[in-house]
Structure 1
Amino acid sequence: MTKPLTMIGFDADDTLWHNEHYFVLTQDHFADLLREHTEPDRLMERLLVAEQRNIPHYGFGIKGFTLSMIETAIDVTNGKVPASVIAKILDAGREMLSHPVDLLPHAQETLAALQGRYTLVLITKGDLLDQERKLALSGLREMFNGIEIVSDKTPATYRRIFSQFGDGAEQGMMVGNSMKSDVVPMVDAGGWGIHVPHGQTWALEHADAPHHAPRFRQIGDLSELEQILT
């Protein structure tokens, strides 16, 4: 007999509130700043390579993204990028770090409906200060039994968190927009992985859906989560 579900983990960025939208806007601004030196598509390719290379050093989040933009600007201009452009890139990064928190539809209602019925834990990765800022502004902090801001999301990460706050990954569920970070590693850990697609998802967060896994589900938005739980 399958053990009952006791804990649900929620991703934050682009699951509970908008996030990638601000990265896309900044990338457009970045492309405008470097338009005289390279085509936007080529610039974005070089930026993505820099981000992937820098994740082990800077981690996930806006600060690492800003450093990767600076590195890419130096690269595509052969070291001749004007200081004024570097200053504008830094300004863009600071602006991202102060953007408002815009909740996604059904986020607050869904958490409110599940509160008290399950142990709810926010599991997010990225810059510690920025994630704490967004959580404080979201108004959702009191709905969670625990907050985990991690450097990466792996099966081991989920096993640890779901054992710490709940009864193990086998009695847990992870809900998020990233197939690579939220769904696949949770399924590999033995739990439920619920995919909530978002219109804008970072290229490095794409992965094949585990359609063969009996504990994988995909829903249109958070309002459909309770249907899975009944």
Structure 2
Amino acid sequence: MTRLTTIGFDADDTLWHNEQFFRLTQERFTDLLAPHTDTESLHERLLAAERRNLGHYGYGIKGFTLSMIETAIEVTGGKIPAAVIAEIMEAGREMLSHPIELLPDVDQAIETLAPDFRLVLITKGDLLDQERKLAQSGLGERFDAVEIVSEKTAETYDRLFRRHGDGAERAVMIGNSLRSDVIPALEAGSWGIHVPHDLTWELEHAEPPRDHPRFRLVERLGALPELLRRL
């Protein structure tokens, strides 16, 4: 077996909580639009707007906020009060200042793995917001490299694991999203380790590649060092 030398970590909902703030804001959005449409229809139209806007705004809170505004205009036939739009914008600003809370076992796992591997943080989303969260997490100096990308593809992982390691074959990518963290890393030739989170955005859902020889699953990051020793 080829010895692993490099570990890639996702950030949002792998190292710290993130999706819960989107869910809370969406509940607030639902309450604001309740006089105009039902909850299920609003959710479907917001998700469609998010999917449609990914190519324009990318991932993150700013794109989510713009999609909420767009959806509000659509469901009200352009009659949404300016005061409601102002509340949606304020909700987005609050999301951009939410505190960072690390998930269980993060500190211990990183401390255990750092002496034996190159650790690379690979995250996607808004540059300023991702930099803010990393700074507040206190984890920034624990990584050998940090990469904030617009999308996670097999080509992305191939390029980054060659830049910061010994290539994809000797790397493993760890994250909560099968669609973004695991499957494209496997396609690049890396190992892919899924660490499920209770909350996952619908657009990140995918079927687990259970038959892939380099796919693994752990319930908590605390189990990661022992798993890596067995690979």
Task: State TM-score, norm by structure 2.
Answer: 0.98
Partner of 2:173: 174
Partner of 1:100: 99
Q: CA deviation digits over 1:122-147, x for unaligned, max 9?
A: 00000000000000000101110000
Partner of 1:229: 228
Partner of 1:216: 215
| 1:58 is the counterpart of 2:57 | yes
Instruction: Return the alpha-carbon distance in structure 2 between the equivalents of residues 91 and 56 of structure 1.
Output: 24
Instruction: Return the alpha-carbon distance in structure 2 between the equivalents of residues 227 and 196 of structure 1.
Output: 14
| 1:153 is the counterpart of 2:139 | no
Instruction: Return the alpha-carbon distance in structure 1 between the equivalents of residues 212 and 160 of structure 2.
Output: 21
Instruction: Return the alpha-carbon distance in structure 2 between the equivalents of residues 140 and 77 of structure 1.
Output: 44
Q: CA deviation at 1:7?
A: 0.1
Partner of 2:46: 47
Q: CA deviation digits over 1:167-192, x for unaligned, max 9?
A: 00000000000000000000011010
Instruction: Return the alpha-carbon distance in structure 1 between the equivalents of residues 227 and 169 of structure 2.
Output: 16
What 5-or-longer segments of structure 2 have no aligned partner? none
Q: CA deviation at 1:150?
A: 0.2
Instruction: Return the alpha-carbon distance in structure 1 between the equivalents of residues 38 and 74 of structure 2.
Output: 14
Q: CA deviation digits over 1:196-226, x for unaligned, max 9?
A: 0000000000011111100000101101111
What 5-or-longer segments of structure 1 have no aligned partner? none
| 1:200 is the counterpart of 2:199 | yes
Q: CA deviation at 1:40?
A: 1.1
Percent identity over the alignment is 62
Instruction: Return the alpha-carbon distance in structure 2 between the equivalents of residues 10 and 40 of structure 1.
Output: 35
> Match of 2:27, as an amino acid?
D
Instruction: Return the alpha-carbon distance in structure 2 between the equivalents of residues 111 and 44 of structure 1.
Output: 37
> Match of 1:56, as an amino acid?
G
> Match of 1:67, as an amino acid?
L
Instruction: Return the alpha-carbon distance in structure 2 between the equivalents of residues 165 and 186 of structure 1.
Output: 15
Report matched runs for 1:25-36 at 5 Å: 25-36=24-35
- Secondary structure of the 1:149 match is strand
Q: CA deviation at 1:15?
A: 0.1
- Secondary structure of the 1:49 match is helix
Which 4+ runs in 1 deviate beyond 2 A?
Answer: none
Instruction: Return the alpha-carbon distance in structure 2 between the equivalents of residues 109 and 30 of structure 1.
Output: 37
Instruction: Return the alpha-carbon distance in structure 1 between the equivalents of residues 212 and 187 of structure 2.
Output: 9
> Match of 1:214, as an amino acid?
P
Instruction: Return the alpha-carbon distance in structure 2 between the equivalents of residues 56 and 143 of structure 1.
Output: 32
- Secondary structure of the 1:33 match is helix
